[in-house]
Structure 1
Amino acid sequence: MSVSFHNPDQYMASLRTIIAQGRKRVGLLVGAGAPAGMARADGSRPLIPAVAGLTDLVLKAIEPTYGAQIIGLQNDLENHDIETMLSRIRSLGSVLGTTEVHGLDGGGYRAMADAICVEIGKIVQVRLPGGSTAYGELVSWITGAPRSHAVEIFTTNYDLLFEEALERARAPYFDGFAGAREAFFDPASVSGDQLPSRWTRLWKIHGSLGWKANADGEVVRTGQTDSTHLIFPEHMKYNQTQKAPYAALLDRLRSFLSTEDTLLVSIGFSFADAHITARIDEALAANPAASVFAFQFQKLDKELCAVALASRRSNVSVYARDKAVINGVAAPWRTPGELPTKDWGPIRDSYWAAPPTGGEAEFKLGAIEDFARFFANSQTPQGFEPAPSPEAHPVPAITE
């Protein structure tokens, strides 16, 4: 019986060449797992908590006012994460009227939902630590080479970490808004490519701190850190994304992947957001020349949504700690003992090493800090012309 393996050296050598040259159209898809994997200035983690940590912080903050409702809802629900609870709270707020459930009527649950949203906004209002950061290193990679095409960053996160990193580096970017006092959203510029390629495109597909609805109901960017117009994780998410500016931003994701010879690299994104994954799926089905490389933090058997997409689309590759799905083949990693070149040792160490707690070597680039360092270190030295970029996945899995 034959057994297949994937060699990370082969795929990371290919990726390193692609991202070093600045010729290919490359985008990043950044999810909540990215800031959750970063350290604060004092060394504690996370910079912004993922769903479990977010749930604990939000519920603790609203417990003095809504303690009875929290207990009642947790008794009603199988899952107690903030996404599930907010979905139920929104539902109760929309259907109850003056009838009470767990001591609140419809208006009370609407107020509870607003309180949760306020707390979420407070939690994501963080600044980048001083010195080197993962976001800063990604910006260093973006600005470190002349580019034929602008790098496009698609993120579901509400924080302003990318904005801060780009501004620290004095790197120009466009987020779909134009203006100063109340910047307005310009869908024509989002759908076009008139700006210079050195301008990074930053697409906040679930909204951002500083967005609000003005008196006419239009979403504007204020430049502040308060937030009244985010798509919070709840049951209305799909309906909300059909409205401006969210529809235009999601259309941009689909059009980006509809362009030939395009690579979208994801980090910290679980692919559990059905409305985003559906657009990626549709675009890749129509355009086999586009590729998605998904770098996942957990082991492969925990990354169900990413694996499901890769099983349908051979142009989606999933890189997890212990295994990968590449060209539709799920197989464990195995690194051969011999280095591809005599200088490859430090490069291999950047993506393949034993965890700090000990144990067998594993693939590291599902962690944002290792991922960003790999990208930053891929920059081509001045005066050096790299070899032509190979195909994205020229080598099949090893079979024994």
Structure 2
Amino acid sequence: MPNETIHNPDQYMTALRTIIAGGRKRIGLLLGAGASAGMRKSDGSYPLIPAVAGLTTQVLGSLNGEYQYQIAELKKELAPKDDIETILSRVRALAKIIGPAKIHGLDGPQYATLGERICEEIGTIVNVSLPPSGSAYSDIVTWIVGTARDHPVEIFTTNYDLLMEEALERVRAPYFDGFTGGRDPFFDPVTVSNNDLPARWTRLWKLHGSLGWSSNDKDEVVRSGKDSAKHLVFPEHLKYEQTQKAPYAALLDRLRAFLATPDTLLISVGFSFADAHISARIDEGLAANPSASVFAFQFQKLEKESCASELGRRLPNFSVYARDAAVVNGSAGLWKVPDQLPSKDWGPIRSSYWSRFEDASPNEFILGRIEDFARFFSAARSAQAFAAQQTQLAEPNTALPAEAPVA
């Protein structure tokens, strides 16, 4: 990382608050697995839904009694990468190719059963509810419904859980997820493509499927209203193939169409950009439309966010905001907060994005953590947020949409 390059978080977050406080900008959110994993349970413990490592431990633990030998042998075979995603990929591959032959004591149909069991366990683990006392998703919904909008907020998520649906329904905020109907709601790609519902309806696009989706007797995806996990695109080797079919192709096309629209901003949190089929569409969209922007809020330090950093270095309209550093206008640099506050009221505002991750750690950029990210959004319309609007925080690399004034 070039030592001479530094980035001032005060500048970028002041401008971002200006954008998200108004209702004129076309804004989308991209929520990855880190969003659900970063929220607390009702008892205050973490995580609400485990990330891949925790998911692996829980799923394999529940199956270990029946499949102890197979799990042990598959882990040896796949080491050092033996997480649940890799194991599921291997199980489904064996189910398709070995037929009546046996590997590690199971034949093809038995591996198909094991794959279904893994999917059922994943579905059980992600089938949770939001804490009753509030959550990060509730804060995001507060921001969504807090102003009249010229354009709907579009939420793209790879998560299978129903947490965002729950947050929207708690405050009776209307949303559209691509399905329509009463008895067996069916997917309507025309409405998804045209995007012609009122702006007050949030769009919720489940890019990898969702709990409650299932197939009917015509092999069409319907929304059952139940918590089943029969039609999920799990992160394994079939993902690319599956996402070329309805409804997944239409949802990914919606992401591409969103980025093709002039003057749009996609803000991501909890997403690593390791999903090649999603990152490729973002890459193509930003390259073809310089007026679109992506702000990627990453939980880890920049050197560990390799997928996001690579996009940021190639695309000037892709900005990465990591814990210790940022990539803006293709230039990577450490965060540096000026000694002097922009105004006398700026201390509480700065602490909303520049604080400690742990008690003994130095201050870092914290908006890669979903709960801080959501609070920042929900508080965007507070009077203090604009206390320094007239203060000049000039820095050459703004990487902001044209609408945003540099405060």
- After TM superposition, the score normalised by the length of structure 1 is 0.95
In structure 1, what is the Cα distance between the partners aligned to 2:387 and 2:308? 35
How far residue 342 of structure 1 moved from its aligned partner, in angstroms, is 2.1
Name the SS for the 1:311 alignment partner. Answer: helix
2:21 maps to which residue?
20
1:263-278 residue pairs with structure 2 within 5 A?
263-278=265-280
In structure 2, the residue matched to 1:262 is 264
Deviation per residue, 1:191-221 (Å, 9 max, x gap): 1121110100000010000000001000000
Residue 67 of structure 1 corresponds to 68
Q: Taking structure 1 as reference, are residues 346 and 37 closer, same or farther at Cα in structure 2, changes over 3 Å only?
A: same
Alignment-derived partner of residue 10 in structure 2? 9
User: How far is 1:387 from its partner?
Assistant: 6.9
Hey, what does 1:293 align to over in structure 2? Answer: 295
Aligned-partner Cα distance in 2 for 1:185–1:387: 45
Q: Tell me the C-alpha RMSD between the 2 structures.
A: 1.8
1:252, 1:160 → 2: CA distance? 20
> Which one of the candidate residues 80, 92, 95 is aligned to 1:93?
95
Distance change (3 Å), C-alpha of 1:2 and 1:180: closer
**For residues 356 and 212 of structure 2, what CA distance do their matches in structure 1 show?**
41
Deviation at 1:80, TM superposition (A): 0.7
Q: In structure 2, what is the Cα distance between the partners aligned to 1:306 and 1:274?
A: 11
Which amino acid letter does the alignment assign opposite residue 15 of structure 1? L
User: 1:385 Cα shift?
Assistant: 12
Question: Displacement, 1:380?
Answer: 5.6
Distance in 2 (alpha carbons) for counterparts of 1:75 and 1:349: 46
Q: Give 1:109-188 correspondences, 5 Å limit.
A: 109-188=111-190
Aligned AA (1:46)? P
Take 1:396 and 1:287, find their aligned partners in 2: how far apart are those partners? 19
Query: C-alpha displacement at 1:233, in angstroms?
Result: 1.1
Confirm whether residue 319 of structure 1 aligns to residue 324 of structure 2.
Answer: no
Q: Is the contact between residue 3 and residue 333 of structure 2 (CA under 8 Å) also seen in structure 1?
A: no
Q: Are 1:27 and 1:265, in contact at CA under 8 Å, matched by a contact in 2?
A: yes
In the aligned structure 2, how far is the partner of 1:277 from the partner of 1:251? Answer: 13
Shift of 1:379: 2.0
The equivalent of 1:212 in structure 2 is: 214
Superimposed CA distance per residue, residues 119-163 of structure 1 (whole angstroms, 9 cap, x where no aligned partner): 000000000001221000000000001101000000000000000
**Distance in 2 (alpha carbons) for counterparts of 1:354 and 1:46:** 19
User: One-letter code of the match for 1:18?
Assistant: I
Structure 1 position 339, deviation (Å): 1.5
C-alpha distance in structure 1 between counterparts of 2:26 and 2:83, whole Å: 37
Contact 1:262/1:291 (CA < 8 Å) preserved in 2?
yes
- C-alpha contact 1:38 1:368 (8 A) present in aligned 2: yes
CA drift at 1:345: 1.1
With the length of structure 2 as denominator, give the TM-score of the two structures. Answer: 0.94
Matched, 1:357 2:370: no
In structure 2, how many angstroms separate the alpha carbons of the residues matched to 1:246 and 1:386? 44
Distance 2:199 2:357 in 1: 38
Report the equivalent of 2:368. 366
Deviation at 1:222, TM superposition (A): 1.0
The answer to whether the 8 Å contact 2:28/2:153 transfers is yes
Q: Deviation per CA, 1:243-279, whole angstroms, max 9, x where unpaired?
A: 0000000000000000110000000000000000000
User: Any residues of structure 2 matched to 1:215-226 within 5 Å, and which?
Assistant: 215-226=217-228
Structure-1 residue corresponding to 2:345:
343
Q: Does the Cα contact within 8 Å between 2:355 and 2:364 map onto a contact in 1?
A: yes
Does structure 1 retain, via aligned residues, the 8 Å contact 2:346–2:387? Answer: no
Alignment partner, residue 281 of structure 2 = 279
Tell me the residue number matched to 1:39. Answer: 40
Q: 1:356-398 deviations in whole A, cap 9, x for unaligned?
A: 33121100000000000000000266xx99979x9xx97328x
CA distance in 2, matches of 1:199, 1:373: 22
Indicate the residue corresponding to 2:405 in structure 1. none
Matches within 5 A, 1:183-194: 183-194=185-196
Cα separation, 2, equivalents of 1:395 and 1:80: 45
Shift, 1:2, TM fit: 6.5
Percent of aligned positions with the same letter in both sequences?
61
C-alpha distance in 1, partners of 2:25/2:152?
A: 10
**Runs in 1 of length 4+ with deviation above 6 angstroms?**
384-388
AA at the equivalent of 1:56: T
Structure 1 Cα separation of the partners of residues 265 and 144 of structure 2: 14
More deviation in 338-347 or 114-123?
Answer: 338-347
What letter matches 1:9 in structure 2? D
Cα separation, 2, equivalents of 1:385 and 1:149: 27
Say if 2:256 and 2:281, in contact at 8 Å, map to a contact too: yes
Residue 176 of structure 2 aligns to which amino acid in structure 1? F
Using the TM superposition, give the Cα deviation of residue 58 of structure 1 relative to its aligned residue in structure 2, in angstroms.
0.3
Q: CA deviation at 1:309?
A: 1.0
Q: What does residue 48 of structure 1 align with? A: 49
On the 8 A contact 1:145/1:380 being kept in 2, the answer is no
Rounded Cα–Cα distance in structure 2 between residues aligned with 1:67 and 1:51: 20
Query: SS state of the match for residue 153, structure 1?
Result: strand
Instruction: Tell me, in whole angstroms, the C-alpha distance in 2 between the residues paired with 1:356 and 1:83.
Output: 30
Amino acid at match of 1:273: D
Contact (CA 8 Å) 1:310, 1:318: kept in 2 or not? Answer: yes
Q: Output one character per residue of 1:2-37: Cα deviation in whole Å (capped at 9) or x when no partner.
A: 611100000000100000011100000000001111
The aligned amino acid for 1:31 is G
Q: Secondary structure at the match of 2:234?
A: coil
Q: 1:198 to 1:130 in 2, by over 3 A?
A: same
> Aligned partners of 1:394 and 1:152: how far apart in 2?
30
Q: Which amino acid aligns with 2:163?
A: L
Q: Which amino acid aligns with 1:49?
A: P
Q: Distance in 2 between matches of 1:129 and 1:104?
A: 41
What residue number does 1:378 align with? 380
Q: In structure 2, list runs of 5 or more residues that go unmatched.
A: 399-407
Residue identity in the other structure for 2:78: L
CA–CA separation in structure 2 for the residues paired with 1:43 and 1:386 = 35
Count how many residue pairs are aligned between Structure 1 and Structure 2: 392
